[in-house]
Amino acid sequence: MGLFYHVGQYFLLMVRVFKKPEKNSIYIRQLILEIEKLGINSIGIVAVISVFMGGIITLQLTYNMVNPLMPTYIIGLGNRDTLILEFSSTVLSLMLAGKVGSNIASELGSMRITEQIDSMEIMGINSASYLILPKIIAVVFISPFLFIISVFCGLVGGLITGPLSGAVTIATYLTGITTLFVPFYVSFSIIKTLVFGFLIASVPAYMGYFVQGGALEVGRASTKAVVNTSILILFFDLVLTQLLFK
Amino acid sequence: MIEIKNICKSFEGRDVLKDISAVFQKGKTNLIIGQSGSGKTVLLKSVVGLFDIDEGEILFDGRNTLIMDFQEQKLLRQEIGMVFQNGALFDSLTVEENVRFPMDMFTTRTMKEKVMRLNFCLDRVNIKDSNHLYPSEISGGMRKRVAIARAIALNPKYLFCDEPNSGLDPVTSILIDALIKEITAEFDITTIINTHDMNSVMEIGDNILFISEGQKCWEGNSSQIFNTRNKKLNAFVFASPFSKKFREIKQMEEDE
């Protein structure tokens, strides 16, 4: 089916998702569960990956950027700006599209093929809103926090790796990460993570919600969800960078 | 009472339901029978509103679902209970939470009242000491019974069951059939059951609608079904050697 069909279907689903909830207390309970499941449970992997990436970026900067004409604090500065501008927003969102996106698509897909979604509809519940809205809010809400955690862990990774490799001293590294700081970079990246958070939850939810068939189709939907979300994240990264830096 | 008039439904140009009309009586177990692929599930899902029909009318106690607005449809759905083929219990909720779910969503009852009602429903379907188990931790028969408990939690006026006996052993099937029949009579519900289980047909078939290739072929009750001259129905009912033997014995008894 064509691209326009899916785009139309996606927006129609979003209209249903953002309708007034049946009972706020149930939705809030569901939201807290989703924040824990999709957000809090991702902190560990985000931290581990960010520490390693911070270390790797530091080493790459050391081996490729540093020369006698450049100050060594550029290692810390480069690591900080790389983390803030791209890694902790875009790359981390790509990773979350894999972890959280596939989780959402397969969960909703399984619910669809086992008629759990139909049974909600028969009860008179807006299943799209009940199942998807808390996930979208949870991921959008938690994304900026994951971004901040990622930047912090990445800087710590650089702080460990830089002095250990002998490339930079702790003092120089700390000077680097506090030099020429542009607060707008953080605002820019938080705006990006909010948009990416919406995509990470809503696109896989669309893929999973309309699954037809069996387990094989759920697997396919999950894969498609990750691929499409990743492409959309990169597309919106391009658009937002152009718009916000203009 | 549910009345369906001249229902037609097609998928991608293929006619699945062709001009089906029937009346499903209140307080009785109304069965829809037919071979796999005959259109039973599509008919049931069309009646409950999961599929939009192409033509025809569906009346719930005279209320036409096609001219209802969104709010009216929502209220009607709260009068409907449905038991799906595999139970369709919510995996992430325990047995207790599953049965309480419709009450949590649509009532303002206190927790104590909800617990009383859920215990009543679980007792009614003979589920004991399993309140805190998850659907994956209970047997298929129990899952069906929990699904029935959830379906009756809000005192529905209409109960729909899609092949409630599929995948169950004969003893459990009989228990489920008996339970549905008892509940139907006890709460005066209009019950519609999709089945191809001949034991169900014999035991609980107050009113039976036989459909074949999307068309209504026969209507009657469990005592009439064995004396019909309808060839398609006979081919369906007496497909197994066991039922053929049963018919021979019945004919011998009648001859004597």
> How confident is the model over A19-40, as a mean pLDDT?
91
For the stretch B187-222, pLDDT in tens is 899 999 998 888 888 888 889 999 988 899 889 888
Nearest CA in chain A to B90: A116
Residue B246 has pLDDT above 80, yes or no: no
Nearest CA in chain A to B108: A23
Residues of A with CB below 8 A from B78's CB?
A: 123-124
Distance CA B86, CA B82 (A): 11
DSSP output for A112-150: HHTTHHHHHHHHT--HHHHHHHHHHHHHHHHHHHHHHHH
pTM of the model: 0.88
Find which of A15, A104, A115, A135 to mutate to test the B interface (most B CBs within 10 Å of its CB): A115
For the stretch B147-173, pLDDT in tens is 999 998 888 999 999 988 887 888 888
Nearest to B104 among A26, A110, A118 (CB): A26
Q: Which residues pair with B29 in a beta bridge?
A: B191
For the stretch B48-81, pLDDT in tens is 988 999 999 999 999 999 888 888 888 898 899 9
With b for 16 or more beta-carbon neighbours within 10 A and e for fewer, the A59-75 pattern comes to: bebbeeebeeeeebbbb
Q: Is the ipTM of this complex over 0.90?
A: no
Residue A110 and residue B91: Cβ atoms within 8 Å?
yes
For the stretch B12-24, pLDDT in tens is 888 999 999 999 9
Structure tokens at B70: 């969104």
Residue A122 and residue B80: Cβ atoms within 8 Å?
yes
Q: B256 to chain A nearest CA, in Å?
A: 50
Residues of A with CB below 8 A from B82's CB?
A: 119, 122
Q: A115 to chain B nearest CA, in Å?
A: 5
